[in-house]
Amino acid sequence: MNIQENVSLKAYTTFGIDHKAEFFTIVQSVDEVVEALKKAEENHWKVFILGGGSNVLLTKDIQGLVIKLEIKGITLIKEEEDQVIVEVGAGEVWHDFVCFCIKNNWAGVENLSLIPGTVGASPMQNIGAYGVELKEVFHSLTAIHRTEYSSTRFEAEDCKFGYRESVFKNECKDQYVITSVTFKLRKTPHYHLEYGAIQEVLQQHGVVQPTLETVSKAVIEIRESKLPNPKILGNAGSFFKNPTLPTSEFEKLKLHYPQIPGYPTEEGIKVAAGWLIEQAGWKGRRTGQVGVHEKQALVLVNYGGGTGAEIKQLSVAIQNSIFEKFGISLTPEVNFI
Ligand code: FAD
Ligand code: EPU
């Protein structure tokens, strides 16, 4: 195993922030994961697991060992009459997996096209977009315990998936390395076209009968129209979660702000944080090398050379301002390190 010292993580996270890992290694198999974990234990190094770095904000150098997951492989486990069960290595790029499914006519992940990052990180926050969440196609996952080195299988109910939540962000935080994720995908599509502008875009392209490919293309087009490409402008997607309010609280706000967008959920009304941030005057605002994206106020950006501390400071200023104006606390979606 090749362990490097003092490695800049600038190219390994989508915010493009230049902090270093004291020690850094890339692992391509489950055995290498165990080897790296044992090495860290021997040397009393802290461990940090990195996928595609698209949901982390580095605010300092990382002391200890950064293990970057690059376990590859897509295996068809079982084919049934109406579904397939597919196991995917944690280091596969999420969007490559989506494209593989579309090519094979396996339905379920097309609305999740173009989400950056790896398959292994997808259960961490139960990734979601355009009316679909990972939990709807999730079958199970395999993870290695970080100090006992045993392999454990988690079924869907063990993962306690919620909106941008899972057991791995809570009770099991920092305890496991996810090495593979198994999906159940339909052979006959059941399209989710009701969310956002999907239907509108399909119509614009003259699509009468949607296919996995046309739906995926529509999602990509919508995403590209508002979300910055991290290769051009550093960001980590939505910086905050959309807050859920009790219905009564939402109704009170609606009296003052009749335009406020709200979506009913089982827990209450989910409010668009991007709208709140825009109303508070932050959209497109820039402070030095960091700022709020001009097309999507929920996305904080690094124009180049910005620091994690500056992004963090900006995020706190936004939180304070939203609390002052609307009495709503915004919770970051991004993982601070
Ligand atoms: P990383 O950023 O590397 O890691 C995220 C967290 O997971 C860290 O705490 C890390 O330690 C942990 N982790 C990573 N891999 C493993 C593993 N194998 N085992 C254990 N722990 C692990 N998210 C959405 O849900 N929906 C969207 O629509 C969406 N759009 C985005 C758009 C843009 C432009 C960007 C930049 C981000 C977007 N995101 C979105 C956020 C991000 O893409 C997802 O959270 C993604 O799943 C992160 O994957 P990653 O491999 O980059 O994880
Ligand atoms: N809005 C504004 N101003 C803005 C941004 C948004 O008024 O600057 C309003 C929009 O007009 C719309 C509403 O807010 O009425 C929702 O906006 P959008 O459809 O862009 O989605 P979002 O709620 O901002 C969420 C996810 C995204 C996901 C999209 C599509 C969260 C935190 N974010 O964004 O996920 O791609 O929906 O499903 O749930 C991510 O998690 O990183 C991410 C990008």
Q: Tell me, in angstroms, the distance from the centre of ligand 2 to residue 227's CA.
A: 9
* 333 is an active site residue: yes
- Per the annotation, the verdict on 92 as an active-site residue is no
Binding site membership of 178 for ligand 1 (Cβ less than 6 Å): yes
Question: Which own/partner pairs from 110-113 qualify as long-range (CB within 8 Å, at least 24 positions apart)?
Answer: 110/189, 110/212, 110/215, 110/216, 110/219, 111/192, 111/195, 111/198, 111/215, 111/219, 112/219, 113/216, 113/219, 113/220, 113/223
Which pLDDT value is given to residue 177? 98
Report which protein residue has its CA nearest ligand 1's atom 11.
49
Q: Give the ligand 2 atom nearest the CA of 131.
A: 38
| Virtual torsion, Cα 5, 20, 228, 113, nearest 10 deg | 40
Give the ligand at the shortest distance from the Cα of 57.
Answer: 1
Token representation of residue 225: 């129209």
Whether the model clears a pTM of 0.85, i.e. scores above it, the answer is yes
Query: Which residue's C-alpha comes closest to atom 2 of ligand 2?
Result: 275
Mutate to test the pocket of ligand 1, among 30, 55, 299 (most ligand atoms within 8 A of CB): 55
Phi-psi category of 221—alpha, beta or left, where left has phi over 0 and alpha has psi -120 to 50? alpha
116 Cβ inside 6 Å of ligand 1 = yes
- Name the token pair of 14: 């989508």
Catalytic residue among 110, 133, 136, 333: 333
The reported pLDDT for the residue numbered 195 is: 85
Average pLDDT, consecutive stretches of 10 residues, N- to C-terminus, the chain (337 residues): 96 97 98 98 98 98 98 98 97 98 98 98 98 98 97 98 97 98 97 92 96 98 97 98 97 95 94 98 97 98 96 98 97 97
Centre of ligand 1 to C-alpha 105, Å, is 25
Active site residue: 140, 216, 238, 315, which one?
Answer: 238
Residue 1: the pLDDT is: 86
278 is catalytic: no
Q: How far is the CA of 28 from the centre of ligand 1 (A)?
A: 19
Q: Please report the atom of ligand 1 found closest to the CA of residue 129.
A: 28
CB 199 within 8 A of CB 193: yes
Kindly list the structural domains of the chain, giving each domain's residue range(s) and its CATH number in brackets, ordered by start: 4-69 (3.30.43.10), 74-186 (3.30.465.10), 234-336 (3.90.78.10)
> CB-based contacts of 90: which residues, under 8 Å, 6+ apart?
51, 69, 71, 118, 119, 120, 121, 177, 178, 179, 180, 181
Active-site residue, selected from the candidate residues 136, 164, 180, 310: 164
